[in-house]
Amino acid sequence: MMIENHLFEALFEMIPFGVYVVDIETYEMVFANRTYRETHGDWDNKACYEAIYKEDSPCYYCKIQQLIDEQGKPNNKTLIFERFNEYNERWYQHHEKTLCWPDGRVVKYTIEVDISASKVMQNQLAEAHALLALKNKELMEINRHDELTKVFNRSHLNHVLAEQIYNMERYQSLFSVVLLDIDDFKKINDTHGHLVGDTVLVEMTRLISSNIRQFDCFGRWGGEEFMIITPHVKSMDDTKFFVEKLCTIIANHDFATVGHCSCSLGVTHCTPNDTMISVVKNADDALYFAKAHGKNQVVVYDELAQK
């Protein structure tokens, strides 16, 4: 039996990783090779949980029961898992299996591979991916917002329009589109300068943003023209009431430097026959009519088309 023990021990000594052998009933360490001893130190007359992890009782994650059959004999399974040793603050990959030791005891042997360096690299890689994801999100936010006013830009408005057309076709989810243009904005720029004109644009977006629904989509369509996409509307009357109220709020607002200024608004209620092109054209036709017939008013395309 002594010769057989030496054969097992010589075999484990040849393995270039830490190896230790444990009695599955008592958790007593039966053997540990040189690499293990250099890493963990003394193991004589100690249980594995005491020698390796400095614990007072068996580890809660112990795999012994998964490596034996109902009679307590080796089941020929090999388990591979990773474990962080809090005592020496190292990561190990464990390869565990049971076998019959020369003295008749069933033992579990563990080959532990120090993977701390690769774990550091994995963590650094995960941090790099997280940083890239964050920067990509920031870039996406920048790319869909107008630089001056910080509301959505035309590109994003087109994206939302396409989504709404799809939802209307598939789910019969109706929506309205409002095109809004600041009246006599050129006069503001000519009288007060473009910097003041920019402040009016910013103040206008803040005023509109605070007077629309949270799920409405609002953005700068171009120049002094803005768009509001209002999903989940039951009828044109609901949209018209909201837009007329917004028109009044804008006209009554006292803007810094320029005082009062108004807006013209064109509104269209989308139907299942509409496309992105027809929706924008209808709202634009209504807006053009509003500006050509007195400004500071709301014109609904649906009503205009009936005349």
Nearest to 261 by CA among 153, 189, 179: 189
Euclidean distance between CA atoms 37 and 20, whole angstroms: 9
**Which among 82, 163, 224, 225 is annotated as catalytic?**
224
Tell the burial category of 189 from Cβ atoms under 10 Å away from its Cβ (0-12, 13-18, 19+).
middle
Structure tokens at 27: 């958790």
Question: Is 244 noted as a catalytic residue in this protein?
Answer: no
Nearest to 10 by CA among 94, 102, 115, 75: 102
Give the amino acid at 167: N
- Report CA Rg, the chain: 37
Euclidean distance between CA atoms 86 and 83, whole angstroms: 9
Give the amino acid at 304: L
Catalytic residues: 224
